[in-house]
Amino acid sequence: MILKFLRLFKIVRVAVRYGLDDIAMSGFDTPRISKLIDTLIFWRDISAPRGERLRMALEELGPIFVKFGQVLSTRRDLLPEDMVDELARLQDRVPPFSTELAIAQIEKSLKGHPDELFASFDRVPVASASIAQVHFATLKDGKEVAVKVLRPGMKKSIDEDVALMHIAAGLVEKLWADGRRLKAREVVGEFDKYLHDELDLMREAANGSQLRRNFADSHLLVVPEMYWDYCSPSVIVMERMHGIPISQLDRLREAGVDLSKLSRDGVEIFFTQVFRDGFFHADMHPGNILVSVAPATFGRYIALDFGIVGTLNDFDKDYLSQNFLAFFQRDYKRVAEAHIESGWAPKETRVDELESAVRACCEPIFDRPLKDISFGQVLLRLFQTSRRFNVEVQPQLVLLQKTLLNVEGLGRQLDPELDLWKTAKPYLERWMSEQLGWRGLIQQLKIEMPRYSKLLPQLPRLAHQALTQAVEPKTEESNALMWQLIAEQRQTNRFLGMLVYVGGGLAAGVLLTLLYLRFAHMIWW
């Protein structure tokens, strides 16, 4: 209890020092309370911009609050521009914890001392962050690995700090004018879940394994292998990756890496993860990306740190692909209609007004190289438009927005001349063709065929049972059976209709081809 009180006292002290109360009190219609507080605390200096003061306060409060600020920096739909820009500057600058603690964590989790488990274990950590740190080691079979160790005592620290954040979020919603729209308690709830997910390193290992399987045959991305015999919720061991950090452009040029191709490959990797797999690496900042210079994988991306991934369902992917293609084709009316059809914009929204607003946001960015535009600024203007029309920003798309900004940053760094739109458009058109064209139809038939192969032989028996029971008094069971028969018959009709459609189309295509060849043969001779 005393420790919690001391922590709360520190948070209040830091908040007062940096004038966070002044930011909260800006929501009052009258400045009297704010003036009263300034009079009582006359010695503090809060002349710095509010965004800068917020960032400095979070940095002083420690790693958990820094990470919370990083999460908030992705919510440009919720926070004012000046505050988000400052929060985006937050970086994990956390000193490593002692090697003794790391060894104790490994012993507890893997039931053995590192000197017994590994042929060699580097006592000096190679990287340290707010949640964990990494040591290099070598397995007894000679394989080089990276050992990620969870920072001790993190769960208790997180639980205490997040509990205080929930209290603060409730106050923000009451005191700040934008508090309700900010959805402070909802944001803290998302952050709570996200942090506790990161505390389970087995989840991160599973994410990495899934991504590696998705790109098993790819010539664009390399993902380290997880060694499951050495993995636990607080320690994971993965293949050690050798490469050049993507931010070190001079070293990449010296190694002979084609930076223009690398930038285009990054865009393709992103859209492949989003639209093909619906599963994407959502923490693609330069610190988590290497470039391989090994002969077998030269020039490929190497992904690290899989604690944060995003997922999209079929509805999300279809909605996004339609919007992207509509943007590329400058069909702003279709963009507006898609927002309303999906329910993300209120049904009473006028299509022409939303269309006009989206056009004003997006039209200036086309036909210009990436170096001349900022996709981040375009997103910001779109979010401002969203607030005007009460468009709900879906939680599952927040990570996607953040990742797209990371991709823009990497593209701008590697090749300022990259045209993000022209690079992405062919891939999206190909994906739409595969999903909605005849390839998509055949794929769906392959998926549904096992079900229909089991269903079709049962139809005569179901029909006989239904006809037999038709003359008997109807019961709830017989009604249920009748509805089942009707539902199955409708599905069968749809299936047969698709077969007729496909078969008829193929037959017509063959007939037209034969007629064309016959006609061409007659003309030639």
Kindly report, residue by residue over 377-420, the tens digit of the pLDDT: 565 566 666 667 766 656 566 677 777 777 777 777 788 877 77
- Res. 525: pLDDT tops 60: no
131 known member of a binding site: yes
130 known member of a binding site: yes
| Amino acid, res. 145 | V
The pLDDT score that the predictor gives to residue 346 is: 77
Q: At what angle do helices 154-175 and 184-198 cross, to 10 degrees?
A: 170
- Res. 11: pLDDT tops 90: no
The pLDDT score that the predictor gives to residue 150 is: 93
Residue 116 pLDDT class (50, 70, 90 cuts): very high
The pLDDT score that the predictor gives to residue 275 is: 82
Contact status, residue 135 vs residue 125, Cβ threshold 8 Å: yes
Average pLDDT over residues 494-513: 57
Kindly report, residue by residue over 157-168, the tens digit of the pLDDT: 778 778 877 887
Catalytic site residues?
A: 283
The pLDDT score that the predictor gives to residue 209 is: 96
Residue 513 pLDDT class (50, 70, 90 cuts): low
- Give the three-class secondary structure for 291: strand
Interatomic CA distance for residues 253 and 242, integer angstroms: 17
Instruction: For 138, list phi and psi in degrees, rounded to 5.
Output: -130, 130
DSSP character for 417? T
Kindly report, residue by residue over 422-436, the tens digit of the pLDDT: 777 777 777 777 666
Tokens of 203: 């989840």
- Res. 370: pLDDT tops 70: no
129 known member of a binding site: yes
- Res. 149: pLDDT tops 90: yes
Kindly report, residue by residue over 14-38, the tens digit of the pLDDT: 777 777 766 665 555 445 555 555 5
Please classify residue 123 by burial: count the beta carbons closer than 10 Å to its beta carbon, then call 0-12 exposed, 13-18 middle and 19+ buried.
Answer: exposed
- Res. 111: pLDDT tops 50: yes
Kindly report, residue by residue over 203-221, the tens digit of the pLDDT: 999 999 999 999 998 999 9
Contact status, residue 73 vs residue 67, Cβ threshold 8 Å: no
Task: Please report, in angstroms and rounded to a whole number, the separation of the first and last CA atoms in the chain.
Answer: 99
Tokens of 244: 């050049």
Q: CA–CA distance from 81 to each of 84, 148, 180 (Å)?
A: 5, 36, 18
Average pLDDT over residues 227-247: 94
Q: CA–CA distance from 350 to each of 214, 390, 407, 505 (Å)?
A: 41, 12, 33, 40
| Amino acid, res. 361 | C
Interatomic CA distance for residues 256 and 197, integer angstroms: 39
Q: At what angle do helices 184-198 and 201-214 cross, to 10 degrees?
A: 80
134 known member of a binding site: yes
The pLDDT score that the predictor gives to residue 309 is: 87
**Other Cβ atoms closer than 10 A to 340:** 18
Average pLDDT of the chain?
A: 77
Choose between 184 and 260: higher pLDDT.
260
CATH code assigned to 99-152+200-310: 1.10.510.10
Choose between 364 and 438: higher pLDDT.
364
Question: What is the SS3 string spanning 221-289?
Answer: EECCCECHHHCCCCEEEEECCCCEECCCHHHHHHCCCCHHHHHHHHHHHHHHHHHHHCEEECCCCHHHE
- Res. 272: pLDDT tops 60: yes
- Res. 199: pLDDT tops 80: yes
Residue 93 pLDDT class (50, 70, 90 cuts): low
Contact status, residue 404 vs residue 271, Cβ threshold 8 Å: no
Least confident range of 186-200, 225-239, 502-516 = 502-516
Average pLDDT over residues 460-464: 74
Instruction: For 290, list phi and psi in degrees, rounded to 5.
Output: -115, 165
Ranges of each domain in the chain? 1-91, 99-152+200-310, 312-443
In DSSP terms, 245 is beta-bridged to 290
Contacts of 248 (CB under 8 A, 6+ apart): none
487 known member of a binding site: no
Kindly report, residue by residue over 274-327, the tens digit of the pLDDT: 888 889 998 777 778 999 999 999 999 999 989 888 888 877 777 777 777 777
Choose between 396 and 45: higher pLDDT.
45
- Res. 478: pLDDT tops 60: no
The count of C-alpha atoms lying within 13 angstroms of the C-alpha of 174, restricted to the half-sphere facing its C-beta, is 6
